[in-house]
Amino acid sequence: MTSPHPPLLSPGYKSTVLRAPQQAPILLPGSLGELTGPVLGEGPVASGDADLTLDGKGGEAQGQRIIVHGVVSDAAGRPVRDQLVEVWQANAAGRYLHKWDRHDAPLDPHFTGVGRALTDDEGRYRFVTVKPGAYPWGNHPNAWRPAHIHFSLFGRAFTQRLVTQMYFPDDPLFAFDPIYHSVPEFARDRLVAGFDLGATVDSWALGFRFDIVLSGDSATPWETK
Amino acid sequence: MTTPSQTVGPYLSIGLSWDEGPFVVPADAPGAVWLRGEIRDGNGDLVPDALVETWQADPDGRFHTPGFRGFGRCGTDDEGKWAIRTRKPGPVDGQAPHIAVSVFARGLLDRVITRVYFADEAPANAADTVLESVPEARRHTLLAAPDGDGYRFDIRLQGDDETVFFTF
Ligand SMILES: [Fe+2]
């Protein structure tokens, strides 16, 4: 089966040119070291971490309020329960709260852009946030990233670890984005959330659905030797 | 229908840095050691926007031991350096002691995966089938050398002495 993952060397995305390894990777046999993985549980998640719009001090982020939800499952379609989901994103103006972000757009004093949640028994997660703005980057002249939210997932095994980006439907910037285009064409739409009227809350927030499927095998603790 | 990977981008520290991330064990844990290194690109330049994650067995070679998280995470600093405080793992499944490592960075569209072995475990390393599968001239890139209060493991993403990376 063809891999849905982008090749590490994707020269349209210039930073890959000096960072992609040149040697072919060596096949690792299945081993407990990689077929197990951290069980992080609630430790890293504090109350309120799934709502990025509230700063916990009475302030509220600017922008279009949205709900982003979905199901995390494994390659066999089984829900991945009690798993940490980490997200980070630019604010509504397309600016990150980061010392290296020099985009001439306002910071939002009430928005850090970081969220954490645990999946429930059905593998579901749900964040409340604001729609991130597109932002410029230095890859090529007039380069803009399509609006996106960064996602990080662990799964049940080291082999399943995934960091990706969720995009929004019908973004006109897709056509010009080498990071989106690094993904083989057949798999690109898996990174695009669907507008979800059912998750939309009347007079309050638009809903989007982004389901995530992790690859790889895992040895659940009771299967280990 | 696996979801494709994408780069962590340059602002990964917003979402992926934890205060406790580098501390797999407390400072006063018996046998606590620092695993430190730097990351360089194909030009030999330091990579200040990367993240290293580690996953390992406890000193008895067991996973998921109560009280031992086994997982470490540290972003590189402005000098491309990272450090994780942990305990040396025991042998697992007849393999030499090792730590599984993921490296994420701006410019890496997917993580790269490697293993830390320990240079002071020569007899166990000599019998390790994974090390044996690596061309001899490249094996040294997987060996952490004893250094001060722990071990040193530098990562070279590309070029001369490129670190050995694995796939599943
Ligand atoms: Fe981004």
Q: Which of residues 48-87 of A touch B (CB under 8 A)?
A: 75, 86-87
Q: Which of residues 29-48 of B touch A (CB under 8 A)?
A: 41-43, 45, 47
| Among the ranges given (A69-73, A115-119, B92-96), the one the predictor scored with the smallest mean pLDDT | B92-96
∠ CA A29-B35-A17, rounded to 5°: 65
Q: In this structure, what CATH number is given to the domain that contains residue B85?
A: 2.60.130.10
pLDDT category, A224, cuts 50, 70, 90? very low
Instruction: Using CB atoms, pick whichever of A28, A96, A182 lies closest to residue B130.
Output: A28
Answer whether residue B27 is part of any domain.
no
Which residue, chain included where needed, has tokens 């979905």?
A70
Answer whether residue B113 is part of any domain.
yes
Nearest to A63 by CA among A113, A4, A138, A120: A113
Ligand 1 mean position, distance from CA B167 (Å)? 26
pLDDT at A225: 28
Amino acid letter, B158 = Q
pLDDT at A41: 78
Long-range contacts of A109-113 (CB under 8 A, 24+ apart): A109/A55, A109/A59, A110/A54, A110/A55, A110/A59, A110/A60, A110/A61, A110/A62, A111/A52, A111/A53, A111/A55, A111/A61, A111/A62, A111/A63, A112/A52, A112/A55, A112/B14, A113/A52, A113/A88, A113/A89, A113/B14, A113/B15
Answer whether residue B15 is part of any domain.
no
Instruction: State the residue range of the domain holding B80.
Output: 32-156
Answer whether residue B26 is part of any domain.
no
Answer whether residue B16 is part of any domain.
no
pLDDT over 90 (residue A9)? yes
> Mean of the per-residue pLDDT values for chain A?
93
Question: In the annotation, is A98 catalytic?
Answer: no
Give me the interface pTM, i.e. the ipTM. 0.97
Answer whether residue B8 is part of any domain.
no
pLDDT at A33: 84
pLDDT over 70 (residue A223)? no
The percentage of residues in chain A with a pLDDT greater than 70, rounded to a whole number, is 95
pLDDT tens per residue across span B17-53: 999 999 999 999 999 999 999 999 999 999 999 999 9
Answer whether residue B83 is part of any domain.
yes
- Phi/psi of residue A153, nearest 5 degrees: -135, 150
Q: Give chain B's domain count.
A: 1
Answer whether residue B72 is part of any domain.
yes
pLDDT over 80 (residue A217)? no
Question: In the annotation, is A103 catalytic?
Answer: no
pLDDT tens per residue across span A16-74: 999 999 999 999 988 888 899 998 877 889 889 999 999 999 999 999 999 999 999 99
How many residue contacts between A and B have a Cβ separation below 8 Å? 207
